Amino acid sequence: MLIRKMFPEDIDIVVDQELEVFGSTLGTKMLNYELTVNQYAHYFVLEDDELIIGYIGLWCVFEKGQITNFYIMPDYRGKRLGEKFLKFALEYFMEQGTRVISLEVRESNKAAINLYHKFGFAAGGIRKNYYEDGENALLMIKEI
Ligand SMILES: CC(C)(COP(=O)(O)OP(=O)(O)OC[C@H]1O[C@@H](n2cnc3c(N)ncnc32)[C@H](O)[C@@H]1OP(=O)(O)O)[C@@H](O)C(=O)NCCC(=O)NCCS
């Protein structure tokens, strides 16, 4: 398994995988902006034998960090890869001088919420009707 920076050449596969995992995608244009223009955005992919099997998007804005998107492909779940990737992200945030990390997660997404709890994230409030289908988001926060 290898964690490396995401490059524009990875966008097509990540868009396909986001559609499979979430049913929606940040989209080619937005991802390209994130990778080539947004100086606060830091995106990484997890590879198995040169095959992308997960990705994570981070924003580091001075002391404030945000996890913008994160998945492990279905066939690779339950093998502690989510933990490994999140641990990497937290270490990266620390190197960048981040003090507080926040993220939004669907209220129904128990797997992700458990994972974030395991890493010390606490519930910080509810964002009502946050997702397009009307589901609420749970805001989660961790100080590092
Ligand atoms: C959330 C996700 C990244 C977890 O990845 P994973 O590699 O399967 O997780 P791990 O094997 O590293 O599991 C680590 C911990 O996550 C939690 N977890 C993972 N899968 C779970 C499940 N099916 N049910 C409940 N908790 C689960 C547990 O706390 C687990 O630790 P434990 O086994 O000691 O209880 C993965 O399920 C995923 O990509 N989901 C779809 C996308 C998504 O929800 N992204 C997050 C958006 S905010």
Q: Whose CA is nearest to atom 30 of ligand 1?
A: 115
pLDDT band, very low/low/confident/very high, at 93 (cuts 50, 70, 90) = very high
Q: Whose CA is nearest to atom 20 of ligand 1?
A: 111
Fold of 2-143: Aminopeptidase (3.40.630)
pLDDT value for 137: 98
Counting Cβ atoms within 10 Å, is residue 39 exposed (0-12), middle (13-18) or buried (19+)? exposed
CA of 80 relative to ligand 1 center, distance in Å: 8
d(CA 121, CA 101): 8
For the chain, the domains span: 2-143
CA of 9 relative to ligand 1 center, distance in Å: 27
Instruction: Kindly report, residue by residue over 17-57, the tens digit of the pLDDT.
Output: 999 999 999 999 999 999 999 999 999 999 999 999 999 99
Distances (CA, A) of 65 to 23, 49, 118: 25, 30, 18
CA of 37 relative to ligand 1 center, distance in Å: 31
Query: Which run of H or E residues covers position 84?
Result: helix 81-96
